[in-house]
Amino acid sequence: MGVVRRLLNRWHEPALHAEFDEELRFHLDARVDANERAGMTRADAEAEARRHIGSTLRATEGMREARISGLFEGLARDIRHAARMVRRQPATAFLAVLTLSLGIGANAAIFSLLNAALFRPLPFPDAGRLVAVVDRYRGDGGGLSGGVTGPTIPELLDVTQRSQAFAGLSFFDMRDTQTYGGLEPARVFAARVEPSMFSLLAVRAAHGRTLRPEDSAAGADPVVVLSDGIWRRSFGADPSAVGRSLTIDRRPFAIVGVLPPDFSIDYLSPEAIEIYLPYPMIPIYTSRSGPFANVRRVTAVARLQPDVSLEQASAEVRTIGGTLVLEHPEIYRADGSGRTLGFEMDVQPLRDLVSGPARRTLLLLWSAVGLVLLIACVNTAQLLMAQAIEREPEMALRGALGAGRARLARQLLAESLLLSCAAGAAGALQAVWLSRALRWLLLDRLPVIGQVSLDLPVWLVTAGAALGTTTACALLPVLRLARVGPGPHLDGRSTVVARGRPRHLLIAVEVAVSVILLVGAGLVVRSLMDLQRARGGFSSDGVTLMRLRGMSAASGPVGPLGATYRRYLERISQLPGVEAVALTSSPVPPPPGVEFTVVGQPADAAALARQSASYQMVSGEYFAVLRIPLLQGRTFNETDVAGRQPVAIVSAELARRLWPGRSALGQQIHAGPGPRAATMSIVGVVGNVRSPRQLEDAPQIYVPILQQDEPSVALLVRPRPAALVSASSVKQAIWSIVPQQAVFGVRPLDEVLSQAMDGDRAIAILLASFALLALAISTAGVYTVVTYITARRTREIALRRAIGATAYDVLTLIAGPTLTWTIGGLLAGIAGAVAVSGVFAAALPGVATIDAATVALLAGVYLTVVAAAMCVPALRALRLEPAGALRAE
Amino acid sequence: MRDNKKDQLQGTLDLLVLRTLSTGGTMHGYAISERVEQVSRETLRIEAGSLYPALHRMEEAGWVKATWDVSSNNRRARFYSLTATGKKRLAEETAHWARLAGAVGRVLKNA
């Protein structure tokens, strides 16, 4: 109503003023006329009228106040004033904007990760009701213990049959497949999908159709659905691709559909899925009795019924899991001994499965940048307060002249608003490139952040952080203003030293928080160094890794693979320049763990208990290729093939633990996952190998890969010194045996191993940079305070010097209290770091508890930097020429 | 909009203006000030510095409305008249004033 009109009136202020003037002039003229009519001379009449009317200025001002809202007018004036003040102290303003924007930018970037990983819904309709069904082994279940894994298909079929909680349940797994037709056989990453997945996720084909239940039936015609990606890359986005045939693993598949570009279950996959095949619902997969039935695990997705909560669904699935343990003790109880494996089934939000372990890491990073922002904030409050105290005489004067407290407070807020806009804008810029850098740094460790974008929620958080922090920064000086009266500033005692306690308390807070960050980052960096140093016991330089999914020379995707592998190895080892070539099931260590038992009567009864070790299938030359020393016995040879006595090679660590002081050769162990479990004789002992991220020697078991039908393998090729072996010559050798064999992922092993630590390195780098940022900002804070104190006490220092104070006295005077508070903050920070050090364990494996050496080192570094920051202004004070300084005020 | 009770002087000024307008009909500022001066036998003098801000404030509050018109001496002037809200306000202010004056009178006589 009136308020709006009064606001709008601001726009025609000049017109209004003209009206005010006209109205007043009429009043004046009317009075003059009346006076003249009463017989006065013109001059007298005018003089009387002017006296009578009083102050026209007051009238105009009064009318203006009545008609025009002052709401924004004051603000505009404040901002203009603020801009003037900022221009007057550009260094201070620059420092404040810089520190704040660093804090804001880092926060926005980390929050964009957090948002993508934890908060933003997955891109499926009603994604909040999607859950994952998982298995959990709580007991001492060897390799599975404590872990969450995908369920098996028979388990899922039971859940589907018995539960009421789900509106739909589906599953998939992923595998390498190969296609032909291009320049060379190509590897295609495929998902095998139970067909109801598409309706469960409410996705329709962009062309053709998605999969139908009958596609999964035994004997159904083989069909395939393409992802948008492969459709564009390999089919030129031609809609007529539907209906054509695609040869996958030597069998023709009819292309029945193409998925839309935005559909992807890649979130749940280590690599982008290119094609979707129907999961064959045949007895070897669906029954509990097949050789792989209880080993093959899938990713299960379900949609909750509309009226069912996560808790209800969880309770129901747990009950079903409990029943399964009773029904199938041969599976869920070890050795039939009745010992439980702690098997449980459960559901969890699909989102948790996607973000998984990233959650704690991201929250840790976010807390770290939150602390950086806190320090930046405290620092800016310091700067603003120094400025405010600087200007107290001015404020006091303006207060005495009638400016209300609220008016002055508004002025300070306007200044902080100006700073926050600048800092927010600069922070947004930094967020853009920082989030790009983060994406690049962390993509390997957190696939979900491939979806990171700086979207509206991120910008809202950024803007909120900018406004919130600067307002908080302005609050301290405003509160202080409320306490300070004009008295001391107007009676000439302006050199009165302001009470330093709150400022020093802020310093202590800054120091404490940065020390926590520094110590935490120190721990993480040290553990990174440990992890990097850990790798050892083998040599990977010069070795090339090539992955393949094995195909037997005979037709059919799976068959006795050992014979084919043997021919590959023979042919490749004859290539010129090849020193040694080997196959392994685990291209990037560490290999998965398994349980095993010692067979027979060991001296130590405890050795009969179940042990766990890593388990890897390798060919005989593996140890030669990686230069792992053979300590005893022999390596695998051409006699260790399918159908012969199973044998194993163990690491020195395993031998040391089980047969200390005796030879491990000839001992027998029972080991292997699922159907691969066998009783094996130990024929050799090799040196311990530590893979990246592995801090301790662990027991290792190697079994001959030629005895197994393992399709997913990697070739390791070591060239002779100074020789080169081209990948294409290796491929040609393989194709001369199996022309359809796709060879992919060709990379130097060194690079693969180093990349395994990229995520760790990125996190350590981030934490370290945040800590250094905190160090820089808090040092700037200390510097500001000491500079300020020195400036305030110039006259006092000069006086003291004049009457004989030594340099030491002056230094104590200037830096003493700050140093005391800094040390206080340092100690508090160390205590805080000790208290929260456990949190940093979320960053990397092997983050140790705090050790005195790290703390002492970092504290020393910190104190040195802070002392240097203090010395600069303090030394400046010492160089003062007493007489000049005394005259200055 | 604005409750003037806390400012007794301003309230009194408003009362005088409203009352003058209620008897005088449509008047410009000069006429209002002359009338008050005349009726109060020169005891109450309203300066332009108080009168015009009050008029504009009351206009914003909707108690009076203003229009530009031509005065008797053929010049443009701003004329004020009472609105319905203004009349109600006048009644309230008058009652309030009477109560206050009565109370003050009783105190002066009896205290």
Domain boundaries, chain A: 2-69, 70-125+358-494, 139-341, 501-533+755-889, 551-740
φ/ψ of A544, rounded to 5, equals: -105, 140
Compute the distance between CA of residue B101 and CA of residue A330 in angstroms, rounded to an integer. Answer: 103
Q: Which phi and psi angles does A235 have, rounded to 5°?
A: -120, 10
Closest by Cβ to A59, choosing from B34, B48, B78: B48
Give residue-wise pLDDT tens across range A598-634: 776 655 555 566 677 888 899 989 999 999 999 988 9
Q: How many CB atoms lie within 10 A of CB A785?
A: 28
Residue-averaged pLDDT of chain A: 79
Using the beta-carbon criterion (under 8 Å), do A26 and B30 form an inter-chain contact?
A: yes
Looking at residue A508, its pLDDT comes to: 81
Instruction: Give A64→chain B minimum CA distance, Å.
Output: 8
Q: Which chain B residues have a beta carbon less than 8 Å from that of A67?
A: 56, 60
Vertex A584 angle, CA A582 and A589, to 5°? 125
Which of B51, B53, B73 shows the shortest C-beta gap to A33? B73
- C-alpha span between A431 and A411 (Å, rounded): 30
Report the amino acid identity of residue A194. E
- Tell if the CB–CB gap between A54 and B48 is shorter than 8 Å: yes
Residue A531 pLDDT grade (very low, low, confident, very high; cuts 50, 70, 90): confident
A20 contacts B53? CB cut-off 8 A: no
CA distance B48 to chain A (A): 5
Closest CA to A714 of A626, A645, A593: A626
Instruction: State pLDDT tens for residues A98-146.
Output: 888 888 888 888 887 777 777 777 778 888 889 999 888 775 544 444 4
Please indicate whether residue A246 or residue A357 has the higher confidence score (pLDDT): A246
Give the pLDDT score at A254: 92
CB-closest option in A5, A22, A53 to B48: A53
Q: Do B52 and A22 touch (CB under 8 A)?
A: no
Q: Which of A390, A649, A605, A351 lies closest to A494 in space, CA to CA?
A: A390
For B60, the closest of A27, A61, A67 (CB atoms) is A67
Percent of chain A with pLDDT over 70: 81
Q: What is the pLDDT of residue A496?
A: 41
10 Å CB burial of residue A554 (0-12, 13-18, 19+) is exposed
Instruction: Give residues with Cβ within 8 angstroms of A7, minimum separation 6.
Output: A69, A71, A72
pLDDT digits (tens, 9 = 90+) for A364-386: 888 888 888 888 877 777 777 77
Interface test with A, best of B27, B60, B80 (most A CBs within 10 A): B60
Hey, which residues 37-56 in chain B have their CB within 8 Å of chain A? 45, 47-54, 56
Q: Which of B56, B71, B74 to mutate to test the interface with A (most CBs of A within 10 A)?
A: B56
Paired tokens of A238: 């031609």
Cβ of B47 and A29 within 8 Å? Answer: no
**Mean pLDDT by groups of 10 residues along chain B of 111 residues:** 49 87 90 87 82 89 89 86 91 89 88 69
pLDDT confidence of residue A555? 52
Residue A833's Cβ-side half-sphere holds a number of Cα atoms within 13 Å equal to 31
Evaluate if residue A886 carries a pLDDT over 80: no
What one-letter code names the amino acid at B70? Answer: V
Question: Which pLDDT score, from 0 to 100, does residue A480 have?
Answer: 65
In this prediction the ipTM stands at 0.89
CA atoms within a 13 Å half-sphere pointing along the CA-CB vector of A878: 17
Does residue A38 belong to the interface with chain B, where contact is any CB pair within 8 Å? no
Query: Between these two residues, A781 and A573, which has the higher pLDDT value?
Result: A573
What angle is formed at CA A356 by the lines to CA A352 and CA A358, rounded to 5 degrees?
125
Which of A193-197, A303-307, A740-744, A764-768 is the least confident region?
Answer: A764-768
What is the pLDDT at residue A113? 76
Q: Say yes or no for a CB contact (<8 Å) between B53 and A63.
A: yes
Which amino acid is residue A564, in one-letter code? T
Q: Are strands A166-179 and A630-633 parallel, antiparallel or unpaired?
A: unpaired
- Residue B9: predicted pLDDT: 63
DSSP, residue by residue, A18-47? HHHHHHHHHHHHHHHHHHHHTT--HHHHHH
Alpha carbon A79 to chain centroid distance?
A: 38
- For chain A, what is the largest distance between any 2 Cα atoms, rounded to a whole number of angstroms? 141
Q: Chain A contact for B4, CB < 8 A?
A: no
Range 81-110 of B in CB contact (< 8 A) with A: none
Interface of A with B in 8-37 (CB under 8 A): 19-20, 22-24, 26-27, 29-31, 33-34
**Facing residue for A55 by CB, picked from B49, B54, B57:** B49
**Residue A831 at interface with chain B, using a CB cutoff of 8 Å:** no
Q: How far is A106 from A63, CA to CA, in rounded Å?
A: 51
pLDDT of A336 strictly over 70: no
- Tokens 């031609």 sit on residue: A238
Comparing A718 with A819, the larger pLDDT belongs to: A718
Contact B48 A66 (CB under 8 A): no
Distance between first and last Cα of chain B: 37
Per-residue pLDDT tens for A341-365?
678 888 988 887 777 667 777 778 8
d(CA A128, CA A350): 8
Q: How many CB atoms lie within 10 A of CB A349?
A: 17
Neighboring chain B residues of A54 at a CB cutoff of 8 Å: 47-49
The 3-state DSSP class for residue B27 equals strand
- pLDDT one-digit tens code per residue, A730-771: 998 988 888 888 888 898 888 888 777 777 777 788 888 888
For B104, other C-beta atoms within 10 Å of its C-beta total: 10
Q: Give A735 or A529, the one with higher predicted confidence.
A: A735
Q: Which residues of A touch B32 (CB under 8 A)?
A: none
pLDDT digits (tens, 9 = 90+) for A453-475: 667 777 787 777 777 777 776 77
> Could you tell me the domains of chain B?
4-104 (1.10.10.10)
Interface residue B35 vs chain A (CB under 8 A): no
